Amino acid sequence: MKIAMSLLVSLLVFSSALAGESELSIVMERLDGALNLLAESSVEPCPICSKQMRDRAFQTLNAELMPGRVVKTTAACLLVGVAISDGSELAPSCYPAGAPVKRKEGEAEARLPRVTFRFHTAGRHLVGVAQSDFTVEDLVADYHAAPAGTSFSGVLEIVEFKYGDGPTYNYYPTGNQLQIHCRFLSLTPMGQEPGQ
């Protein structure tokens, strides 16, 4: 019986990994190398070198940010409403957006890109996101009613975006922002972040 139970637990863990379920903090850690490359590409004076850096970053992003991957917040890494957005983006609280990236002496200072999770609803969406990937309006009512800086716990699913730089995201070099497209499966306000 113990062996059967052990096999069942192992199977559940394996199937969870196949389904792409991850904690948000782990996803952000796995994206660290790609985010550093994007930061460096934003100040790289050689256009060809900059594009090569972005392409290497996109390879990692493509592998990590697959459509259907489910990501959940934890107490250590929540999602925070973004004041400078169209009202449909949240940023991970455990990620130091804008932090300097170490560069060699004499090189321009690179800063980590802003990372946001952009959800879509029937009333507010981009062309290129399937209707089946919309977040239901009722689920985001608390988000829209909350002041900027409010923290949220939740579960999201990364969704396909047909017109992105990768299958599920856009990178905006001029604003140094990585926008990941998603739909929320759950979203609950937790409180306001200090200093917001």
Residue 172, domain extent = 19-192
Task: Judge whether residue 85 has pLDDT over 90.
Answer: no
> Would 2 be classed as within a structural domain?
no
183 or 149, greater pLDDT: 183
pLDDT, position 75:
93
Q: Is residue 4 part of a domain?
A: no
Inside any domain, residue 63: yes
Query: What are 102-141's pLDDT values in tens digits?
Result: 766 667 789 999 999 988 876 666 666 767 878 888 878 8
Residue 9 located in a structural domain = no
- pTM of the full structure: 0.82
Which pLDDT belongs to residue 11? 37
- Of the listed ranges 3-12, 48-57, 140-149, 155-164, the one predicted with least confidence: 3-12
What is the chain written as a DSSP string?
-HHHHHHHHHHHHHHHHHHT-EEHHHHHHHTHHHHHHHHHHHH-S-HHHHHHHHHHHHHHHHHHS-TT-EEE-BTTB-EEE-SSSSS-EEEETTS-TT-EE---TTSPPEEPPEEEEEE--SSS--TTS-GGGPPPHHHHHHHHHSPTTEEEEEEEEE---TTSSSSSEEEETTTTEEEEEEEEEEEEEEEEPTT-
- Mean pLDDT of the 62-74 span: 95
How many domains, the chain?
Answer: 1
Inside any domain, residue 148? yes
- Residue 101 belongs to a domain: yes
Residue 6: inside a domain: no
